[in-house]
């Protein structure tokens, strides 16, 4: 197995890890959406804080999952930057 194949396998493993991590973050979205909609109806006083808190968490989980999916696509392709990052330099 040559170095190029090892780097390709390593980038695919990293991509799979990012996909699993993104799916894990997406499992939190339904609970955040439910809590956000619950506190939306009662947005006064302390409930207003919880409403905004769950809105931020909901957006965060969606953005983080999207970013990890895009990172997984980027590492799966194993471009020159990923290849130079994962392979040791010639010494």
Domain ranges for the chain: 3-86
Predicted pLDDT at 91: 41
How far is the C-alpha of 50 from the C-alpha of 43, rounded, in Å? 8
Predicted pLDDT at 90: 53
**Mind listing the pLDDT tens digit of every residue in the chain (91 residues)?**
888 888 889 899 999 999 999 999 999 999 999 999 988 887 677 788 888 999 999 999 999 999 999 999 999 988 888 888 888 765 4
Predicted pLDDT at 50: 87
How far is the C-alpha of 48 from the C-alpha of 70, rounded, in Å? 33
Task: Name the nearest CA neighbour of 57 among 81, 30, 75, 17.
Answer: 30
């Amino acid at each position: 197995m040559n170095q190029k194949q090892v780097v390709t396998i390593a980038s695919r493993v990293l991509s799979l890890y990012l996909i699993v991590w993104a799916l894990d973050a997406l499992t939190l979205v339904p609970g955040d959406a439910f809590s956000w909609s619950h506190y939306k109806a009662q947005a006064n006083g302390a409930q207003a804080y919880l409403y905004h808190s769950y809105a931020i968490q909901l957006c965060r989980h969606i953005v983080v999952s999207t970013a990890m999916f895009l990172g997984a696509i980027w590492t799966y392709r194993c471009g020159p930057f990923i290849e130079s990052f994962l392979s040791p330099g010639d010494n």
